[in-house]
Structure 1
Amino acid sequence: MATAPMNKEVDPYASHVYDLFRWRGSIITAIFPYWLTSVAWSALISALYVSVGVHVIGYTTTLITILSMVTSLILVFRTNTAYDRFWEGRRLWSQLVVSIRNMARVIWIHGKEPTVADILAKKTAINLLAAFAVATKHYLRQEYNHDYDDLKFLVAHIPKYAMPSSNESYEDQVNKPDKWKRWLNPVAGTNGSMRHRKSFFHTKPKTSSDQSYSPEAVLDGADIAKFRGSNNIPLEISLYLSSYINSQRQKDLLDVPSTTATMNALNSLVECLTGFERILRTPIPAAYSIHLSQTIWVYILALPFQLVASFGYVTIIVQAIASFTLLGIEAIGKEIENPFGMDANDLPLDDFCRVLVHELDSLTSKPPPSVDEWIFSPRNHPFHNVKGTDLTAQDLRRASLEEVRSLLSVTSNDNKVKPALSPRIRVKSNDPDERTLDGKQPLDTVVNFSTLDDDERLASNVKDHHFAAANGVESPEGTHGAGEAPE
C-alpha cells in the first residue's frame, strides 16, 4: 500500500480552490435528491397559481415566521451537539497520541537493554503502541478484521489474530439495503454508526481484506456482542503491553518510576478507547433527529404557499435557496455526528496513524542518546549570547565553578560583557578529575592558541605530545608552533 511522503507537512487550511467552488467536502451529493424534490414542489405550486389560476393556494406569511424560528432553534442545537461530538473525538485522539508518545519515550530511554533480546522486546512493545492506534482506527470504523496492510504486520505475532474476522458490522451484512435505498440515502449507514457518503469524488478504498471470510455471518444475534468483544484488538493489545511492563519490572530492567509512568500511559490509552466507544455507540436520540427532519420538511413544503402570491415564478428560486440551506445544515450535523468514518469531513485518522507510526519508527531508529554526545559537542556554545565569548562546553570543562557562574550571571544582565577567564580553560588536560558525565576521560578538547602566550602554548604542545605517546595516538596536527618541536 502506497503511503504519502513524510517529509512535507500537510496544511489542513490550505486550498488552491476558493470555497465557493470546492466540491470535495461539500454536502451537495448528499442532499441533491431532496433538494431537487423541494424545487420541483415549488415549481408545481407556482405553475398552479400563476398559469392555472388556482389563487386559493396562496396564504399569508404568518406560518413562515413561526416555523422559521422553531426550525432555526432546532438546527442550531443539532449542529452544536454534532460538532461537540466531533471535537470530543479529536480531543480524545490527541490524548491517545500523547500517551503513546510518553510511553514509547519511557520504554526506549529508561528501559535497560543488557542483551539483544531486550532490545528486540523494546522495539516490539513500541510497535504494539503503533498497532494500538491503527487498530483503534479500524475498530471505530467497525472493521473488526486485523488483515489490513497497515495493521497485519504489527499484530501478526499475536497468535489470536490468525483467525479471520469481519471488517463489516453484522447489521450491515444482514440488513444491507437495496441499491435504490442506498442511492436515496447516501449519508447514513443501515445501523447509523458507520456512515460513508458515496459519490464519484469520494469512494471507500478497497483493501485485500474486503472479501475475507466473515464469522459474523453465521452467528446468532445473541453471539454478536461476544464475538465483537473478542475482536476488540486495541483492548487485546493493551493486555500484551501490560504483560511487557510487568515482565520488565520483574527483571529489574525498568525502575519503579518508569513502570508507574508507563502504566499510567497505558491506562490513559484504555480510557481514550472507552471514550471513543461512547461517541460511536451513543448517537443523538433518534426522536430528536426525526422531529428535526419532519419540521424542516413541513417548512419546505409550506414555503411555496406563503411566497407564490408575492413572487410568482420567482418562488422557485427562493425555494431552492432556502431548501439548500436547511437541508445542508441538517446533512452536516448527520455527517459529523460520527467523526470516525471516511467522509471528507470526518477526522483524518489514516493521516494521524501514518504520522504516529513514522514518529515511533524514527524514535527507535537509533539507540538512546548519550548526554556526552550533545552536551560536549564542539557545536554546543552554552553562552553564545555573551558578547565576545565563543567558548564551547568542551572549553569550559576546565573552568572553575566560580568562572562558570560568572558567565551565568552575565547572561541574565542587559549589559552582556565577557568576564575575565583563566587561560587554562582552553588547554588540554589529562587530569583525573576532568571526565565526561559518563566517567570517561576526554581525548580531545578544542584549544584556541590565540588566547595563550608563548610559554603557555609551548607547555600545551609538550603536554599534548606526552599524552599522545602514552595513549598510542598521533599528535594532533597544527599544535606545534612554527619551527618548534616538543622537548
Structure 2
Amino acid sequence: MVAHNPLFASWSLRKFKATVINDIWPEVLFFSGVAAMVSLVSDLTSHKLSFSSAMLTVLGTVLGLVISFRTSSAYERYMEGRKLWTAIALASRNIAQVIWIHVPFERIDKKTGQRRSNLEVVIEKKSMINLVQAYAVSVKHLLRGEAGVYYEDLYPLVCFLPRYASHAPENASEEDMLPMWRASAMDAQKHRAAHTLTSSRPLSRSGTANEGSPEPEKELGQISEDQIYHSLRGRSREALKKARKFDPEMALPVVYSEHPLQPARNPPKESIFDYLPFLRVFKILVAPFRRSKPKPELPTSASAATRSFTGKRLRPEAVDSNVPLEITLFLSNYLAWLLKNGQLQPALASAFVTAISSLQDTVTNLDRIRNTPLPFAYQAHLRISLWIYLFFLPFQVWSSFGYLTIPGTAFASFLLLGFLEIGQEIENPFNYDLNDLDLDSFCLQIQRELHEITAHSCPDPDEFLFTAWNQPFAPGDRRTAEEMMNDVNHSYHGPDTGMHSIRRTLLKSWWDVDEITRQK
C-alpha cells in the first residue's frame, strides 16, 4: 500500500504504478486525438467543427456531481473495510485475553480426578489462541480469492485440527473428511506446481517426524527431513538478523504438508509493461512473430491475466471458502467445553460469545463489500455519458481555445476519467493493488498482539503491588508501598485514623496534581 503524500515524497516507479495512469491512458490518448482532429480540420479546411457550448456547463456540472458521488461511495466502502479489520483485531484480542487470563491454569481433570500439568494447560490455551490468529489469516485469503488452507502462513496454524468425522486417520476414507479439509484438498489440486519444502508430519529439533503420521509426497524427492528443517527454519539468530528478505513466516511452526503450500502473499508478477503501459502496443505487434513456448504450470492466482491488452486492471474472481466459519466453530466448541467443565464464569462466557459473533459478523460484512460491486447499469451509463461528453468537448471549445483545445481536452480527460477509475479501483480494497488495504500488515499486527498477550505471566497482584517500585499515593505521599506497609506506627495503620488519613493524603494528591498540571 502506498500512502505517502506525493507533494512531499520522492517519486518512484512503484508510486507511479499506484496511480491510475495505466488504466486511463488509452482513453486520454483517444480523446486527445479527437481534439487534434477537430483542431486541424477547423484550422486547415473551410469546415469549422464547432458549435455552441450552451450545454457544456450544465452537463459538466451534472457529470461532476455524479462522479463525485461515485468516488465518495467507493471511498466509504474502502473505509468500512478498514473499520471491519479493526473490529477483527479487537475481537481477536478480547478472545485471547479471555482464554489466556480467565481460563484457569490450575485445574482438576474430571475424568481422572488428577491435577492437570501446567504444560498441558498452556499448550491447550496457546493452541486455541493460534486459531484466533489463523482466523484473521483465513479472512485475508478469502478476500483475495484464495480458497483453502494450504498457504505458508495459514496451514501451520490449523494443521493440528481434526480432519475426519468419525474414524481414526489410518482407517478413514475421503468420504469421512471434514468440509474444510476436503474443500481445501480439492482446491490444492489446482496448484500442484506451487513450491513447498514441507510435509504433513510435525518436525522435531533433530529433524525426525512423529510416528504414525502420513508419508510426505513424492515431489519432495530425496530431500531429507533434516535438510528440510534446516533449510526452512534452522537458521541461527545471527543469520536471521542479516537476512535481507522480509520473511514473517519464519515465526510460524515448522510442519509438513501433504499438499504444496502456496506463498502467504502471491501478488501478480510485475513486468516493464506495468510501469510503461504504452509499450503494450509493441507487445501486441510482435506477438504474431514470436515462437510459442510451453509454459510451466503455475498456480491459478499467478498465471491468470491481471491486465487487459491496454493495461487496464482485471479483477480476480471471487471464491467461496469455509475456513473462517470452521475456525469459529472450533472456537465455539472450545467455549462449550470450558463451560461443560466449569472452567469459565458465565459473564466471561458471554464476552467470549460476543467476540465470536463479532468475528462472524465482520467477515460477513467484508464479504458483502467484496461481492457487491456497483450495479453494471450505473457504471455503464456513467462511463458512456462521460465518453460522450469528452468526445464533444473539443467541438464546443475550439472557437475559444484554438489549438489549446488539444491539451485542454487531454487534461479534462485525465481529470474526469481518473476520478472515475479511482472509484472503481478502491471499491474492492482487498486485493494486491498498491492502493488496496495492507491485509498482510493487519494480520501480522494481530499476530504480534496475540503473542504479547500470551507473553503475559498472569501474576498474583501480591507479587508486584507491595514492592519498592510502587508509589501509589504520589505526589501526596511519595513513599513506596513497601515502606508504607512496614511503617506500622504510621496513622495509615491506625484502627480509627487509618482510612481518614489515607483519604487526606489522596485529597492532597488531587490538590497537587491540579496545581502542577494547570497552565498558568
Question: Scaled by the length of structure 1, what TM-score is found?
Answer: 0.69
Unaligned runs of 5+ in 2: 107-116, 164-179, 192-298, 514-520
- Taking structure 1 as reference, are residues 14 and 372 closer, same or farther at Cα in structure 2, changes over 3 Å only? farther
Q: Give 2:395's aligned amino acid.
A: F
- Taking structure 1 as reference, are residues 250 and 325 closer, same or farther at Cα in structure 2, changes over 3 Å only? same
CA contact (8 A) 1:410 1:416 kept: no
Q: Which residue is equivalent to 1:78?
A: 70
Shift of 1:177: 8.4
Q: Which residue is equivalent to 2:260?
A: none
Shift of 1:96: 1.5
Shift of 1:415: 4.8
Q: Which residue is equivalent to 1:54?
A: 47
Q: How high is the sequence identity, in percent, across the aligned residues?
A: 33
CA contact (8 A) 1:146 1:165 kept: no
Q: Which residue is equivalent to 2:312?
A: 186
Whole-angstrom distance in 1 between the partners of 2:421 and 2:53: 27
Whole-angstrom distance in 1 between the partners of 2:104 and 2:44: 87
- Which of the numbers 37, 40, 45 marks the counterpart of 1:44? 37
Q: Which residue is equivalent to 1:138?
A: 141
Q: Which residue is equivalent to 1:293?
A: 383
Whole-angstrom distance in 2 between the partners of 1:163 and 1:391: 65
- Taking structure 1 as reference, are residues 20 and 135 closer, same or farther at Cα in structure 2, changes over 3 Å only? same
Shift of 1:416: 4.5
Q: Which residue is equivalent to 1:152?
A: 155
Whole-angstrom distance in 2 between the partners of 1:232 and 1:377: 51
CA contact (8 A) 2:145 2:316 kept: no
Q: Does 1:90 find its partner at 2:180?
A: no
Q: Which residue is equivalent to 2:416?
A: 326
Q: Which residue is equivalent to 1:67?
A: 59
Whole-angstrom distance in 1 between the partners of 2:151 and 2:448: 17
- Taking structure 1 as reference, are residues 359 and 269 closer, same or farther at Cα in structure 2, changes over 3 Å only? same
- Taking structure 1 as reference, are residues 238 and 83 closer, same or farther at Cα in structure 2, changes over 3 Å only? same
CA deviation map 1:345-395 (0-9, x unaligned): 211111111111011112112432332233223211112212xx3311222
CA contact (8 A) 1:137 1:349 kept: yes
- Which of the numbers 418, 421, 430 marks the counterpart of 1:340? 430
Whole-angstrom distance in 2 between the partners of 1:54 and 1:412: 92
CA contact (8 A) 1:134 1:353 kept: yes
Question: Scaled by the length of structure 2, what TM-score is found?
Answer: 0.64
Larger Rg: 1
CA contact (8 A) 2:134 2:158 kept: yes
- Taking structure 1 as reference, are residues 342 and 190 closer, same or farther at Cα in structure 2, changes over 3 Å only? closer
Task: List structure 1 segments (4+ residues) > 6 angstroms apart after TM superposition.
Answer: 176-179
Whole-angstrom distance in 2 between the partners of 1:287 and 1:42: 28
Whole-angstrom distance in 2 between the partners of 1:254 and 1:264: 15
Whole-angstrom distance in 1 between the partners of 2:4 and 2:130: 32
Q: Which residue is equivalent to 1:7?
A: none
CA contact (8 A) 1:379 1:392 kept: yes
- Taking structure 1 as reference, are residues 25 and 410 closer, same or farther at Cα in structure 2, changes over 3 Å only? farther
Whole-angstrom distance in 1 between the partners of 2:58 and 2:10: 31
Q: What is the aligned-residue RMSD (CA, Å)? A: 2.8
Structure 1 residues 224-235: aligned runs within 5 Å: 231-235=321-325
Shift of 1:318: 0.6
CA contact (8 A) 1:147 1:164 kept: no
Q: Give 1:277's aligned amino acid.
A: D
Q: Which residue is equivalent to 2:18?
A: 25
Structure 1 residues 301-450: aligned runs within 5 Å: 301-386=391-476, 389-397=477-485, 398=488, 399-400=492-493, 402-403=497-498, 405-413=500-508, 415-416=511-512
CA deviation map 1:79-135 (0-9, x unaligned): 121112112212211112111111111110000123322211110110000000110
CA contact (8 A) 1:396 1:404 kept: no
CA contact (8 A) 1:39 1:316 kept: yes
Partner of 1:184, secondary structure, is: coil
CA deviation map 1:27-67 (0-9, x unaligned): 22221222222212211221111233421x11111121232
More deviation in 69-78 or 265-274?
A: 69-78
Higher RCO (CA < 8 A, seq sep 6+): 2
